[in-house]
């Protein structure tokens, strides 16, 4: 039986949007484009107004007028760095744009993916020059740091912006978390879609907080993943992004297919609707204005280690380019294991090891970690029945208590050595690894509640007020959740639910049938009823 419960509200309601670049659309199609945006439930859209010494204001004037009449907010992208011959030219352009559109525009994004051609320190002058001009024209407007790709190196750009003293010159970090696979699956070093967003929120937290994150581009090409996966990936990504505290606005790319943008659109080139249009419309219609209140437990797990009996059997092993010591400390609940590490180079790793047998055929692993370093990656190791070692990327390090998971069946960020590359069950938990990738030379992190996911690990149930968004990564499963029989499919579904506290389900897969256990002093593997609440910060 599966238990289901919700967590306290952790985020405000995010706003949704779709990039449309209406000013670049032929005049005869602009009305259709704006109508489709409104129908999709877009609250925001993005325009690119490229620099010109002799601009044609007809298309942007028309686009802004149509969008504002439809009640859609606008994020102008203020050109590209290489278009400006001097800082004086740049400042004059910002003054021109704000003089024309300040009354109609509530957010401004300063350059596009600037980390491709500028360091954070070099970018600072541009945003420092733009910020006072924009705020003088509209003090309530949001100034957004150039959206950049979500990858581990992004932290260097953001650190450069903060360290150069530009913290007072922007309100939000822009982010473009593109990825090839499903939003729930792990990529090497950056983790899953939520992990990649938390690169930005953790960077903000490490510099004192007070800023939000705006996703101004992300998406999938149906030409690459197919119509169904484009629709499912997009709709699930919108919902997942809205779970991250600090994410204010979520804007996908793109409204329609064209030669420049490829097949990312919700619409075909003739503005007819793709499957993804209805999927995004469903998400915005069901989640608009609703703050995230928690993941429901819809998987079962087996406790691997909870540290209540101390650290007997744990040791530091195979540490490269540094040192590691282990100590008892306060965990997420009760006790935890503190990893005190120090590295003497920009790369290296620290391994905390203890072989612990895991019964059955677990489908994933999960651990809670309280970290301060945001430039490293956490990894799991297991050893199979044939003695082969497998290493799984659990995701990039994030500030505070966060849960890191790896789905063995669906995540691809894994390597192995000493065998044939296939997992032979039963397995043993081997170790947890901190892979240093240019982060702090020394620090500490606390580990708690390592568990093996034993069933339903690819079920997702996200609660937004009284609305439940739910889906399954592959296949289908009907289960009783919050008193309702719900069918989990790859396409997000929505249901109105109550508080869900104490509700149990009876139609779980056989592998999830287990007895309840709480955190005790036992150091052996114990069955635990209820799933892992993925990615929920304490």
Average pLDDT over residues 272-297: 95
Is pLDDT of 516 > 60? no
pLDDT tens per residue, range 372-396: 877 788 999 999 999 999 999 998 8
Is pLDDT of 496 > 80? yes
Average pLDDT over residues 408-414: 87
Residue 5: per-residue pLDDT: 30
Highest-pLDDT range among 170-174, 206-210, 295-299: 170-174
DSSP-assigned letters across all residues of 303-332: EEE--TT--TT-EEEEEESEEEEEEEEE-S
Is pLDDT of 505 > 90? no
Residue 169: per-residue pLDDT: 98
Considering the entire predicted model, what is its pTM? 0.83
Residue 529: per-residue pLDDT: 31
CA separation for the pair 257, 439 (Å, rounded): 40
Average pLDDT over residues 175-199: 90
CA separation for the pair 425, 446 (Å, rounded): 29
Instruction: Count other C-beta atoms under 10 Å from residue 106's C-beta.
Output: 13
- Pick the residue with more confidence: 409 or 99? 99
Strand order in the sheet with 292-295: 292-295, 459-464, 467-472, 493-496
- The distance of Cα 266 from the centroid of its chain, to the nearest Å, equals 21
Residue 12: per-residue pLDDT: 82
Is pLDDT of 175 > 90? yes
Average pLDDT over residues 275-289: 98
Is pLDDT of 301 > 80? yes
Least confident of 386-395, 469-478, 509-518: 509-518
Residue 33: per-residue pLDDT: 98
Burial of 488 (0-12, 13-18, 19+ CB in 10 A): buried
- Pick the residue with more confidence: 536 or 349? 349
pLDDT tens per residue, range 248-270: 999 999 999 998 888 999 999 99
Residue 501: per-residue pLDDT: 58
Average pLDDT over residues 292-309: 90
Is pLDDT of 347 > 50? yes
CA separation for the pair 325, 92 (Å, rounded): 56
Contact, 482 vs 500, CB < 8 A? yes
Is pLDDT of 6 > 60? no
Average pLDDT over residues 502-520: 31
Burial 359-392 (b: 16+ CB within 10 A, else e): ebebbbbbbbbbbbbbbbbbbbbbbbeeebebbb
Strands (E), 344-426: 347-358, 364-371, 376-383, 389-396, 400-407, 414-417
Residue 531: per-residue pLDDT: 31
DSSP-assigned letters across all residues of 162-208: HHTT-GGG-SEEEEE---SS-TTSPBTTTBSHHHHHHHHHHHHHHTT
163: tokens are: 């360290």
Residue 112: per-residue pLDDT: 93
DSSP-assigned letters across all residues of 278-292: HHHHHHHHHHTT--E
Q: Which helix (H) or strand (E) holds 427?
A: strand 427-437
Residue 517: per-residue pLDDT: 31
Average pLDDT over residues 82-103: 95
Rounded to the nearest integer, the mean pLDDT of the chain is 88
Is pLDDT of 293 > 60? yes
Bin 406: left if φ > 0, else alpha if -120 < ψ < 50, else beta. beta
3-state secondary structure of 56: coil
Is pLDDT of 72 > 50? yes
CA separation for the pair 362, 4 (Å, rounded): 20
pLDDT band with cut points at 50, 70 and 90 for residue 202: confident
pLDDT tens per residue, range 25-60: 999 999 999 999 999 999 999 999 999 999 999 999
Residue 345: per-residue pLDDT: 85
Closest CA to 218 of 183, 189, 174, 252: 252
CA distance to 44, 245, 247, 482, per residue, from 14 (Å): 11, 9, 7, 24
Residue 116 has what DSSP assignment? G
Residue 11: per-residue pLDDT: 59
Tally DSSP H helices, then E strands, for the chain: 9, 29
Least confident of 132-136, 156-160, 468-472, 533-537: 533-537
pLDDT band with cut points at 50, 70 and 90 for residue 499: low
Is pLDDT of 316 > 90? yes
């Amino acid at each position: 039986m599966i238990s289901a419960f919700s967590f306290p509200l952790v985020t405000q309601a995010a706003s949704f949007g779709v990039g449309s670049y209406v000013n670049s659309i032929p005049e005869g199609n602009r009305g259709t484009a704006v109508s489709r945006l409104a129908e999709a439930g877009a609250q925001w859209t993005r325009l690119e107004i490229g620099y010109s010494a002799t601009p044609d204001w007809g298309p942007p004037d028309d686009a802004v007028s149509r969008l504002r009449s439809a009640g859609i907010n606008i994020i102008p992208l203020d050109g590209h760095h290489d278009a400006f011959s001097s800082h004086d030219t740049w400042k004059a352009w910002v003054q021109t744009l704000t003089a024309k559109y300040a009354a109609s525009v509530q957010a401004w994004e300063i350059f596009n993916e600037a980390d491709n051609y500028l360091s954070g320190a070099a970018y600072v002058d541009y945003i420092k020059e733009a910020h006072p001009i924009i705020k003088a024209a509209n003090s309530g407007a949001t100034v957004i740091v150039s959206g950049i790709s979500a990858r581990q190196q992004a932290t260097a750009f953001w650190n450069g912006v903060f360290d150069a003293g530009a913290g007072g010159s922007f309100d939000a970090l822009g982010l473009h978390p593109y990825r090839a696979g499903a939003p729930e699956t792990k990529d090497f070093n950056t983790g899953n879609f939520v992990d990649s967003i938390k690169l930005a929120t953790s960077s903000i937290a490490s510099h004192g907080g007070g800023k939000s994150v705006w996703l101004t581009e992300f998406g999938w090409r149906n030409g690459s993943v197919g119509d169904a996966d484009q629709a499912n990936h997009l709709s699930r990504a919108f919902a997942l992004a809205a779970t991250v505290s600090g994410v204010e606005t979520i804007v996908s790319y793109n409204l329609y297919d064209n030669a420049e943008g490829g097949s990312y659109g919700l619409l075909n080139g003739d503005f007819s609707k793709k499957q993804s249009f209805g999927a995004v419309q469903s998400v915005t219609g069901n989640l608009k204005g609703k703050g995230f209140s928690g993941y429901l437990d819809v998987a079962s797990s087996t406790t691997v280690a909870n540290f209540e009996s101390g650290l007997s059997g744990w040791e530091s092993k195979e540490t490269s380019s540094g040192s590691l010591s282990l100590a008892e400390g306060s965990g997420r609940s009760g006790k935890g294991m503190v990893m005190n590490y120090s590295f003497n180079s920009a790369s290296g790793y620290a391994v905390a090891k203890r072989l612990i047998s895991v019964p059955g055929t677990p489908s994933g692993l999960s651990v809670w970690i309280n970290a301060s370093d945001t430039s490293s990656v956490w990894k799991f190791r297991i050893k199979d029945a044939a003695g082969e070692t497998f290493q799984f990327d659990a995701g990039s390090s994030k500030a505070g208590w966060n849960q890191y998971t790896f789905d063995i069946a669906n995540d691809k960020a894994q390597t192995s050595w000493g065998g044939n590359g296939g997992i032979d069950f039963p397995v043993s938990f081997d170790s947890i690894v901190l892979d240093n990738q240019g982060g702090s030379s020394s620090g500490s992190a606390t580990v708690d509640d390592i568990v093996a996911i034993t069933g339903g690990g690819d079920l997702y149930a996200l609660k937004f007020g009284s609305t439940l968004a739910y889906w399954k990564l592959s296949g289908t499963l009907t289960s009783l959740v919050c008193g309702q029989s719900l069918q989990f499919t790859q396409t997000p579904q929505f249901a109105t639910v109550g508080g869900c506290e104490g509700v149990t389900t009876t139609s779980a897969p056989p592998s999830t049938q287990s007895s309840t256990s709480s955190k005790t002093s036992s150091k052996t593997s114990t069955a635990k009823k209820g799933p892992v609440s993925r990615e929920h910060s304490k």
